[in-house]
Amino acid sequence: MKTYTSNSNGFQVDYPTDWTKQNKGGNCPATVCFGAPAQDGQVPAVIAVNVITWTSPTSLQTAWNTQRQLAINSLGVNPKTVSGTQGNTTLGGEQAKTATYTLDWGLIPATARQTMVLGADGTSATVLTGMSATEIWKDLDPTFTQVESTFALTG
């Protein structure tokens, strides 16, 4: 695993050494994205870490609801939560919200797990998302879980 540290956004996370890192821009709409090596005929898996900021403090539940609605509005899709996968968890030792979704953009079914942790002052949240084609999700879920286990807030 390699370690990525974002001092300006206050987090650190490890990612697989054979994955590529891309900062925001181009194909990466998040603060940073990590992409699995492409395999013939397969959409690669992606892990994205996005930091969202607000002008005033908010609660974890409000941040979670806002982020979910924003995703629905900006992506134009309504993700279907996988039964039994939504709820409270921890990320980096802090209270967090998590859910696993299936998405269908009309091209390929995808599965994603998002986990959100609120910053200490309540004006930012970090969202860690692991996403892959649904057909390979079970193969990549252990990698996503390992990456989540290394996440830490640093600021």
> What ranges in 37-109 are assigned the alpha helix state H?
60-75
Q: Give the CATH fold of the 47-150 domain.
A: Protein Transport Mog1p; Chain A (3.40.1000)
Burial of 130: CB neighbours in 10 Å, binned 0-12, 13-18, 19+: buried
Q: How far apart are CA 4 and CA 112, in angstroms?
A: 21
- The string of pLDDT tens digits covering residues 40-80 is 666 678 899 999 888 888 899 999 888 877 766 665 566 67
What is the value of pTM for the model shown?
A: 0.88
Residue ranges per structural domain of the chain:
47-150
* Nearest in space to 15 (alpha carbons), one of 32, 38, 39: 32
- The string of pLDDT tens digits covering residues 84-121 is 788 999 999 999 999 998 887 557 788 889 999 999 88
Q: How far apart are CA 68 and CA 62, in angstroms?
A: 10
